[in-house]
Structures are given as structure tokens and as C-alpha cells.
Amino acid sequence: MSCKSRYVDFVRFSLKQSELFEGYDLAVCFQNGFQNCFNDVKNSQNTVYPGTFIEADNVSELKKKLRRARGFIGVLSPDVKVNREAIMRKKVHVILDSERRKLDYASVKLAAEKDVVIEVSLSKFLRVKGFKRMKLLDETRLLLRLLVKFGTPFVVTSGAENELELRPRYQLYSFFSLLARDAGVDELKFLESLRNTSTRIYRRLVDENYIIDGVEIESG
């Protein structure tokens, strides 16, 4: 059954529904104040959803925080080992992005196998300059190429920590489409993968008829 494409943004602050940029259907807020804050009732009228945010610098810290975590869980870490461990955990849904995050080839491939979403955010480029920004651009081109190659679920987001870092969807998609083309990635395949993952996240969080991919409740 085909369904309408839906577009999701991830942010790092408490976003009001009125602040959601045109072009998005939903914003997921990952921040410290929303840990373990989970809406058990899916509501398609809401455009802002509380994610469960876990930040960890080592594997022990990750395991400790995951024990009590519930909801739609995103993990943020600068350590490759932590991110790889998070991908292997059934509880984890998203590996969040920042200018300090590190992912390797094996982690991206593993995320495809475990169906864990990789976030690629714009805000990290806004927080660095010069050589650091150029290095991030090169790393992101390579990451986009690997994500499409392995069929790893991914989303591009603002990753905004405040209102000033928010961007309209068309700007985000144009920027990352350009990076993907520079990396030799087929743009249509890139956008299709992006839409599919974004729509799956939206349906998982707010569609009352959604159970799992390919299964839904028939409305009578």
C-alpha cells in the first residue's frame, strides 16, 4: 500500500508547534529534559514529538542510561565504539549527529542490518569554520555515499539547538543533495531513500494505524 511522503526534522531544544518550518510534518525534540518522556498514544494532530535523548562518552555510560530509557531513543556520542554498541541495541532507533560524532565503515553497514537510522544534520556545519568545516564536508560526502550504498536508513535534519539554527526543508534537501552529487551518489536514489526513512519515522510515531512496516490496522 502506497502512502503520502512525510518529512521529519530532529532538533535539540523544546520546539513549539508554531515554530515548525513549512515543509515538515513533524519535529522530534531530542534534549536532556525529554529523557524518558514518551507519548504512548499516537496522535496525528501533533507536529512536535518528544524523543528520548542519550548522550554517552563510553560504553558503560551508554548501557547504564539505556536500562531506564524508553520511547523513541536517539544516542549521541563522539566515540565510534559507543555508536557501534548503540546500533546493536534493540532499544536504539537513531544515531544522532554532531560535529564531534564519529562513525566508521563497519558501523554504517551494521546500521543497515539492524535498521537503525543515521542522522545527518546541518547544524554541525554552522558551529565550525575553515579547515574543520571543510573536513566535515568531506566526511559527510563519504558518509552519504556509504549510506546509499548499503541501504542504511538515514534522515537529513537541521539538528538545531535553537531557533536560529532552524532551516526550511527545501534548503536542507538542496544542500545535502548537492553534497550527495559531489560524492557521486545518484540524486534520485538519495532522495528516495531519504523520503522513505522520514515517512517511516513519521508513521511510527504518529500514525494510529501503523504497527510495523508493511502492517497496519484497517480502518473500518
For residues 122 and 172, the answer to whether their CB atoms sit within 8 Å is: yes
Return the bridge partners of 26, or none. 8
Tell me the pLDDT tens digit for each residue of 178-200: 999 999 999 999 999 999 999 99
Beta strand segments in the chain, E? 8-11, 26-29, 48-50, 52-55, 73-76, 92-95, 117-121, 154-157, 210-212, 215-216
Torsion sign (Cα): 37, 39, 197, 213:
positive
Q: What domains are there in the chain, each with its CATH number? A: 8-208 (3.20.20.140)
What does the alpha-carbon distance between residue 132 and residue 30 come to, in Å, rounded to a whole number?
25
What does the alpha-carbon distance between residue 206 and residue 3 come to, in Å, rounded to a whole number?
14
The residues of the chain scoring below 70 in pLDDT are 1-2, 18, 33-46, 210-220
Beta strand segments in 69-138, E? 73-76, 92-95, 117-121
Beta strands 210-212 and 92-95, pairing class: unpaired
Torsion sign (Cα): 40, 114, 11, 35:
positive
Torsion sign (Cα): 25, 196, 159, 113:
positive
What does the alpha-carbon distance between residue 172 and residue 169 come to, in Å, rounded to a whole number?
5
Q: Give the number of residues written for the chain.
A: 220
pLDDT of residue 26: 93
What does the alpha-carbon distance between residue 141 and residue 176 come to, in Å, rounded to a whole number?
9
